[in-house]
């Protein structure tokens, strides 16, 4: 495996606190990458209902669909999406 290949560890037991922390981290990562539209979507998610979080995550994934070089961010958003049923 080359140094550029990474494996995403799939964790499906994140609770609300872990999901909200992950979304906060992803907000910061989007800001740092200059993805203001994605960062805006991920802002203020603390305490949001599950349905709203689902919309936010899907919208962020859609916004990243045409963006190259953001596999890590996309993968982490997909990880959050897999964990939303835990809410």
What is the DSSP annotation of 21-79?
A: HHHHHHHHHHHHTT-HHHHHHHTT-TT--HHHHHHHHHHHHHHHTT-TT-HHHHHHHHH
Residue 2 inside a domain? The answer is no
Residue 20 inside a domain? The answer is yes
Q: Give the integer Cα–Cα distance in Å for 72 and 69.
A: 8
Residue 23 inside a domain? The answer is yes
CA 38 to chain centre: 10
Q: Which domain holds residue 40?
A: 16-86
Residue 6 inside a domain? The answer is no
- The mean-pLDDT minimum among 5-19, 24-38, 44-58 falls in 5-19
Statement: residue 60 has pLDDT above 80 = yes
Q: What is the pTM of this model?
A: 0.86
CB count, 10 Å around CB of 70?
19
pLDDT greater at residue 11 or residue 19: 19
pLDDT greater at residue 1 or residue 31: 31
Confidence of residue 49 (pLDDT cuts 50, 70, 90): very high
Q: What percent of the chain has pLDDT over 90?
A: 83
């Amino acid at each position: 495996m080359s140094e550029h290949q990474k494996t995403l560890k799939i964790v499906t037991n994140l609770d609300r606190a872990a999901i909200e922390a992950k979304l906060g981290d992803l907000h910061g990562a989007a800001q740092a990458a200059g993805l203001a539209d994605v960062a805006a979507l991920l802002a203020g998610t603390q305490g949001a209902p599950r349905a709203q979080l689902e919309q936010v995550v899907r919208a962020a994934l859609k916004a990243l669909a045409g963006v190259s070089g953001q596999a890590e961010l996309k993968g982490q958003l997909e990880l959050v999406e897999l964990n939303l049923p835990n809410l």
